């Protein structure tokens, strides 16, 4: 790996966010874990930025590359919906670079093209095509795949890697870092909070409940996740018990909808997002209650997990 000749001065430090997208089983998780060296899922909640799930951080003396998850792009059934979920699109437009993963050992298919298509709509963000699983392909296969990928769309770069053997991972990190803005480090060591998955799950339920009725319920929904535990005797199903609180009966009626139809939709939408986030099947038990004026009651706020 070639070292840059110039001495890095503090003002040329780069820092920013990158995410990886691709259809299921293209090796995104393995790649993220290999890049950052450990398995982590961290969320950061900085004022004015949306909450992002941070998978990990590549620290270098001259750069900090923060790898974030894209919720919802994991599953083809959520992908082939009419539109890309707003949460995903907002993540994609907020990162500084996107890694689009295609395995070296499988032909490019409809799922890949579908995602490439969606990515081309994210005009301002550079997309780097990452040809994964190169350890499973011959040199010829890799060469052919690089050519095939270059014909799918205009990419800022195309990088073949193997997360298994570690080959070219440093090259991929270099390429991603080139696209990061000049910035001091965004996270100092101690600033990362390992927020429990419960918080994220609550956030996804809240997003689903607000979908389409933001004007009527601007901020008056709180979600408490009471329990998250594997179903007894099953390792492939997670039971989640969650409780939504609104401030007034009229708001409860909005969330529940006609004959409870909207509440069922909220549950389904939230469940799909949670399944995509956690990578497991989920049974979601969702209730709603009125907690009068919870936003102004310190005791209720504490119970709902809002601390000063």
Q: Per the annotation, does 73 bind a ligand?
A: yes
What is the DSSP annotation of 54-71?
EEEEEEETTEEEEEE--T
Nearest to 96 by CA among 128, 121, 118, 120: 128
- Annotate 108-177 with three-state secondary structure: CCHHHHHHHHHHHCCCCCCEEEEEECHHHCCHHHHHHHHHHHHCCCCCCEEEECCCCCCCCHHHHHHHHH
Q: Is 25 annotated as a binding residue?
A: yes
166 is in an annotated binding site: no
Pairing verdict, β 157-160 and 221-230: unpaired
Q: Is 249 annotated as a binding residue?
A: no
Query: Is 134 assigned to a binding site?
Result: yes
132 is an annotated ligand-binding site residue: yes
Tell whether residue 171 is among the known ligand binding residues. Answer: no
Was 190 annotated as part of a binding site?
Answer: no
Beta bridge partners of 129: 100, 158
Give the DSSP per-residue string, 215-268.
TTSSS-EEEEEEEEEEPTT-SSEEEEEEEEEESSHHHHHHHH-GGGHHHHHHHH
- The reply to whether 265 sits in an annotated binding site is no
46 marked as binding residue: no
CB 54 within 8 A of CB 192: yes
Is 69 annotated to bind ligand?
yes
What is the C-alpha to C-alpha distance for residues 184 and 181, in angstroms, rounded to an integer? 10
| The pairing of beta strand 221-230 with beta strand 237-246 | antiparallel
70 is in an annotated binding site: yes
239 is in an annotated binding site: no
The answer to whether 284 and 274 have CB atoms below 8 angstroms apart is yes
Residue 135 annotated in ligand binding: yes
User: For strand 97-103 and strand 14-21, is the pairing parallel, antiparallel, or unpaired?
Assistant: parallel
72 annotated to a ligand binding site: yes
Q: Binding-site residues, please?
A: 22-29, 69-73, 132-135
Q: Binding-site residues for GTP, please?
A: 22-29, 69-73, 132-135
């Amino acid at each position: 790996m070639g070292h840059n000749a110039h001495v890095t001065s503090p003002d040329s430090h780069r820092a920013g966010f990158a995410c990886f997208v691709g259809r299921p089983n293209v090796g995104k998780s393995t790649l993220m874990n290999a890049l950052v060296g450990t398995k982590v899922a961290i969320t950061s909640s900085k004022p004015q930025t949306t909450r992002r799930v941070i998978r990990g951080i590549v620290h270098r003396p001259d750069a900090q590359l923060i790898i974030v998850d894209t919720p919802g792009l994991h599953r083809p059934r959520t992908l082939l919906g009419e539109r890309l979920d707003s949460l995903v699109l907002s993540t994609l437009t907020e990162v500084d670079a996107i890694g689009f993963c295609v395995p070296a050992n499988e032909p490019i298919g409809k799922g890949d093209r579908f995602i490439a298509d969606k990515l081309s709509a994210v005009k301002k963000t550079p997309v780097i095509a990452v040809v994964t699983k190169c350890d499973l392909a011959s040199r010829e296969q890799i060469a052919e795949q690089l050519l095939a990928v270059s014909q799918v769309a205009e990419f800022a770069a195309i990088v073949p890697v193997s997360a298994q053997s570690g080959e070219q991972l440093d090259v991929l990190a270099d390429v991603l870092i080139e696209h990061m803005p000049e910035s001091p480090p965004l996270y100092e060591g101690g600033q990362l909070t390992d927020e429990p998955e419960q918080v994220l799950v609550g956030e996804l339920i809240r997003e689903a409940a607000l979908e389409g009725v933001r004007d009527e319920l601007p901020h008056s929904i709180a979600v408490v996740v009471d329990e998250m535990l594997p179903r007894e005797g099953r390792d492939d199903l997670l039971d989640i018990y969650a409780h939504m609180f609104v401030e007034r009966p009229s708001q409860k009626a909005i969330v529940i909808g006609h004959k409870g139809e909207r509440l069922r939709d909220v549950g389904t939408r939230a469940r799909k997002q949670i399944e995509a986030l956690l990578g497991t099947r989920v049974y979601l038990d969702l209730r709603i209650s009125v907690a009068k004026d919870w936003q102004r009651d310190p005791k209720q706020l504490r119970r709902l997990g809002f601390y000063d």
